[in-house]
Every structure is written in C-alpha cells, then in structure tokens.
C-alpha cells in the first residue's frame, strides 16, 4: 500500500493521472481511501454541502479542524489535504503558518490548500519553509466570489490567461507541491500543465491536467444545490436515500419493521 505524501504527489507528474476527491467525514473518507484515491481534500466546500451555507465563506477554522480530524481517522493511504478557510491565511504569512500548523498538529493533515495566484506566493513559501506542504489553487477561487461576482470560467481574455500562467509559475517557485486549476479553458489548463514542473489538478479545466478532482457530494448526487457543467454524476445516492427513507417509514407505520430477525 502506497502512503501518499506531498512529495510523492509532486514526483508523480508525468507518471500517472492523480485521482482526487473531497471528503468531510470518517465513513466517506474510508470508502474513498479504499478505492485507491491518491489525494483527499477536506474542502471548504463543506460549508455548502455539509453545513448548508450559500458560499464557502462562513465556515470557521474550528469547523474545518473538526472535519479534517474525522477524515484523517478514516484514511490509511491517501494524502489528506486541509482547505484553509476564508480569512484563516489571508491576513499575513504568520497567520497562515499558525493556522496551518493547527491542521497538521491537531487534525493530522498531510498538507494544506490556499487559494490565490502570484500574490499568495510569499504565504506558500512561508508554509513550506516551516515544514507544511502547500497545495495552490488558481482560476475560479470560490473564497473570492464577492470580488469575482459569479462562479464563471476564468482566463478567457488573453491578459487573464497570461496572469494565470504567471500565477502557476510563481506558486511552483514558492514551493507548492501541486496546483488546483478550477474552471479554466482546457487549452489554457494544458498550457499551464506543460510549463510547470508540479502536477496540476483540474476541476472544470478539461482532461489535459495531471489529475482531476470533484466534490464527492456532486459525484454521488447528494447535493441539491446548483451543479456545475463540469460535474459528472456517477451515482444518484440522493434518490436512493429518498427511496430507503420512504421504505423505512412505510414499514414502521405498517408494523413490518422490526421483524423477527431484528428482535431479541
Ligand atoms: O473546497 C473544495 O471542495 C475545493 C475543490 C473544489 C477543489 O476547493
């Protein structure tokens, strides 16, 4: 069994496609790990999928620590990456080190993820120099939703594309072990993938990336909010749960459950 670390993920570029998913709880993390997924992200998307907020902004550091620790308990092989929540790292590299340190020390994470381009490079450098592997995230960065104005494709204009290429190179230089590319035109994602020496992990960025990530609730059909075009639904567990809840209700109401076999 491979124990995935940030340095193994970095070294995998050009050797294999990285398969990554989000997880927020022990049981799901265990199933994902057993499926051989290389990287499990405790995404701040849990603000929406687990906590019912409209954006990722309200989730707190304490909530992210709580979910990260649960995921770590479920994982034996994958690298667990904790997503640093809004305003837990933006204030200064010192703030980022202190809070990222809690993800490693208290929750057992193997790495953290921070959003932002070249302007975030000093933070990534500070984390890495202090022994905390950092995953970058550029393109559509949901913590900037108030500034971006919507969940739309990034980098369509030539000057935006140039900036994103420079961002990816700056994050690599600062020491990021991999970079998430969210909602980019596939040609731009391919270009970034070709010029950086660390793996790119795409979400809504086409098949030219070194790996792919999806939000597990989207893949399983568990999230009832807006589902972006880039999501492929591999199961409809929402429908299956509705069916099971209705069957249970019916059997309790009609005296079918509990049966002989469920009774001492
Ligand atoms: O929070 C999250 O789930 C993420 C992924 C979409 C990359 O950041």
Pocket test residue of 68, 151, 180, 202 for ligand 1, highest count of atoms within 8 A of CB: 180
How many Cα atoms occupy the beta-carbon half-sphere of 117 within 13 Å?
Answer: 20
The pLDDT value recorded for residue 226 is 85
215 alpha carbon – ligand 1 mean position (Å): 7
Catalytic sites, residue numbers: 182
Q: Which residues contact 57 (CB under 8 A, 6 or more apart)?
A: 47, 86, 143, 145, 146
Q: 8 is written with which tokens?
A: 């193994």
The pTM is what?
0.98
Mean pLDDT by 10 residues, the chain (264 residues): 96 98 98 98 98 97 98 98 98 98 98 98 98 98 95 96 98 98 98 98 98 98 90 97 98 98 97
Ligand 1 pocket check for 203: Cβ under 6 Å: yes
Contacts of 161 (CB under 8 A, 6+ apart): 155, 185, 188, 191
- Taking the mean position of all CA atoms in its chain, how far away is CA 209? 15
Q: Which atom of ligand 1 is nearest to the CA of 180?
A: 7
**Bridge partner list, 182:** 139, 203
Nearest CA to ligand 1 atom 8: 43
Q: Which alpha helices (DSSP H) does the chain contain, by range? A: 6-11, 26-34, 46-49, 61-74, 93-105, 121-129, 145-148, 158-174, 186-195, 216-219, 237-253
Assign 82 to helix, strand or coil.
strand
Please give the backbone phi and psi of residue 2, each rounded to the nearest 5 degrees, phi first. Answer: -80, 135
The pLDDT, as a whole number, for residue 22 is: 98
Rounded to the nearest angstrom, the gap between the alpha carbon of residue 60 and the centroid of all alpha carbons in its chain is 16
Task: Write b or e for each residue in 54-85: b if 16 or more Cβ atoms lie within 10 A of its Cβ, otherwise e.
Answer: ebbbebebebbbebbbbbbebbeebbbbbbbb
Region for 51 from its dihedrals, namely left if φ exceeds 0, alpha if ψ lies in -120 to 50, beta otherwise: alpha
Q: Determine the pLDDT at residue 258.
A: 98
Q: Ligand 1 pocket, 123 CB below 6 A?
A: no
pLDDT value at residue 224 = 84
Half-sphere exposure of 211 (CA within 13 A, CB side): 24
Nearest to 202 by CA among 71, 76, 39, 83: 39
CA distance 173 to 175: 5
Q: Using a CB cutoff of 8 Å and minimum separation of 24, what contacts does 113-117 make?
A: 113/41, 113/81, 113/82, 113/83, 113/84, 113/137, 113/180, 114/84, 114/89, 115/141, 115/142, 115/143, 115/144, 116/141, 117/163, 117/164, 117/166, 117/167, 117/170, 117/171
Cβ–ligand 1 contact at 45 (below 6 Å): yes
Residue 115 CA, closest ligand 1 atom number: 8
Atom of ligand 1 nearest to the CA of 201: 7
């Amino acid at each position: 069994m491979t124990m995935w670390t940030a340095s193994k993920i970095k070294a995998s570029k050009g050797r294999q496609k990285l398969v990554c998913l989000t997880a927020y709880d022990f049981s799901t993390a265990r199933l994902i790990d057993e499926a051989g997924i290389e990287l499990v992200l405790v995404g701040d998307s849990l603000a929406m999928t687990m906590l019912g907020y409209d954006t990722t902004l309200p989730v707190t550091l304490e909530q992210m620590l709580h979910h990260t620790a649960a995921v770590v308990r479920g994982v034996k092989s994958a690298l667990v990456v904790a997503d640093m929540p809004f305003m837990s790292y933006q204030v200064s590299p010192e703030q980022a080190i202190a809070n990222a340190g809690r993800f490693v020390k208290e929750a057992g994470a193997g790495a953290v993820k921070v959003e932002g381009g070249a302007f975030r490079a000093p933070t990534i450098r500070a984390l890495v120099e202090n022994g905390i592997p950092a995953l970058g995230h550029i393109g559509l960065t949901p913590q900037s939703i108030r500034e971006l104005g919507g969940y739309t494709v990034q980098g369509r204009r030539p000057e935006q594309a140039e900036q994103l290429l420079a961002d990816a190179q700056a994050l690599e230089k600062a020491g990021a072990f991999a970079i998430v590319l969210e909602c980019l035109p596939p040609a731009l994602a391919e270009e970034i993938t070709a010029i950086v020496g660390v793996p790119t992990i795409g979400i809504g960025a086409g098949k030219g990336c070194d790996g792919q990530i999806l939000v597990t609730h989207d893949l399983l059909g568990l999230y009832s909010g807006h589902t972006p075009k880039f999501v492929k639904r591999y199961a409809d567990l929402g429908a299956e749960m509705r069916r099971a809840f209705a069957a249970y209700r019916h059997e309790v109401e009609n005296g079918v459950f509990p049966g002989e076999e469920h009774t001492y």
